[in-house]
Structure 1
Amino acid sequence: MTEIANQDTSLTAVERSMGNRDIAEGAARTAVLKRRYNASVDDVWDAITTPDRINRFFLPVSGDFQVGGSYAFEGQASGEILACDAPHLLRLQWTPPGDRGYSDQVEIRLTADGPDATWLELEHASVADVFRNDPDTGCYGVGTGWEGPLHYLGEYLRGTLPDAPSTEWYTFDEAEELRLANFRGWEWAKIEAEHGGR
């Protein structure tokens, strides 16, 4: 097995942007992450919609996996599956744990780039203030938070992750995660400044 690449290899692979769109909760801001994977669109789609595969690079997930069904990531968000148009579009209601009084929306769009490559675009939309990035105060938005899972998706598609649930091989390294969050946070802070809260 090839060694798992350090997350630094993904820092320049992600295209970051912000935008606006309406969701069920109202007028929302969005953080958009886009990156290219060397895998077919069908393989990427299967990886992000099959519970046993999701569990290899992200978190354990359970639920009723059809439009109108619900899902829950262990220790993370839960919600309803709003749209599922294989192999191009997955839209989820994204409700953080605890009673925050709102739900976000996460949409993943896949576009084939030839037979063996895929562009993945993940858009996280929210009416809440979940986008601010200020590494000086340790404040990191949702865009920063999605970069790790997208890195490990790439490693999973390359075949470098162990064939086991992520809870069995991933070890949280606080210092390393803080270093990465600082880099990503500054990149997102620049994007937020360019977007200007529009």
Structure 2
Amino acid sequence: MTDDQVTAPIDVDRQLHEVRRGVTIGAHETGAAAVPTIVELSEVYATTVDDLWDACTTAERLPRWFAPVTGELRIGGRFQVEGNASGVVEECEPPRSFRITWEFGGAVTWVDVALEAVGAEAARLTLRHSGDTPAEMWDQFGPGAVGLGWDLAFLGLASHLAGHDLPPEATQWEQSDQAKRFIRAAAAAWGRAAVEGGSPERDALDAADRTRAFYLGEGPGAAG
């Protein structure tokens, strides 16, 4: 399959600019085992709050842009994202917000999702991923390790809401020049967000480079 056959069905350059990214960094004490962090993304989509809520919370639609999710999608229910995290639904106020634990690799963090109408024909989704990031991971990758994964999810959601579901060849798209360009630009954007959040500029930009290399399989320990 050629590169032009796996082109994303939406404008990835526009998508990069549509997402707002923010980082809040807690005290990073010398020798501390973890760094309290909040990674936040938001984007306005051309749909209603009800439709956006449905896309983000129903087992039938989640695989069409994110991943298959099994379990009980209700307060107190446990869920499993295929090949990724599991967790518990702690709060849910349809169609406005929900809060879940995000349990992965022995660590527990939290994801808060909020929806709001923007005029009559658009809705904003804001996602906050908060918790203690292991200090070693923070020093190596900064916020991009988490943020870039959510950037790719937001890209999938934008494509789905535009009428183009996640295709079977999505993994092939991830190897395309277009995907690599998106990952490079998104990683750099998280580096800038880290600087704005208070990280030393050189540390933040170096971490962004390592995040890019990890996602593109360009360095030691990278995801192939």
Query: What TM-score, normalized by structure 1, do the two folds share?
Result: 0.81
- 1:77 counterpart (59, 80, 85): 85
Q: How does 1:173-184 map to 2 (within 5 A)?
A: 173-174=174-175, 176=177, 177-184=179-186
Residue correspondences, number: 182
1:10 and 2:15 are equivalent in the alignment: yes
Where structure 2 has 5 or more consecutive residues not aligned to the other structure, the ranges are 1-7, 27-33, 200-224
1:190 and 2:202 are equivalent in the alignment: no
Alignment-derived partner of residue 19 in structure 1: 24
Structure richer in helix, relative to its length? 2
Give, in whole Å, the separation in 2 of the partners of 1:192 and 1:45: 29
1:9–1:132 CA distance, 2 compared to 1 (3 A): farther
1:154 and 2:155 are equivalent in the alignment: no
Give, in whole Å, the separation in 2 of the partners of 1:132 and 1:193: 13
Where structure 1 has 5 or more consecutive residues not aligned to the other structure, the ranges are none
Per mean C-alpha deviation after superposition, the further-off stretch among 38-47 and 171-180 is 171-180
Alignment-derived partner of residue 96 in structure 2: 88
Alignment-derived partner of residue 208 in structure 2: none
Give the conservation status (yes or no) of the 8 Å contact 2:21–2:42. yes
Higher Rg = 2
Query: What TM-score, normalized by structure 2, do the two folds share?
Result: 0.73
Q: How does 1:58-77 map to 2 (within 5 A)?
A: 58-77=66-85
Give, in whole Å, the separation in 1 of the partners of 2:149 and 2:140: 11
Q: CA RMSD in A?
A: 2.6
1:132–1:111 CA distance, 2 compared to 1 (3 A): farther
Give the conservation status (yes or no) of the 8 Å contact 2:144–2:191. no
Overall identity of the aligned pairs, in %: 29
* Amino acid of the structure 2 residue aligned with 1:180: F
* Amino acid of the structure 2 residue aligned with 1:121: T
Give the conservation status (yes or no) of the 8 Å contact 2:25–2:198. no
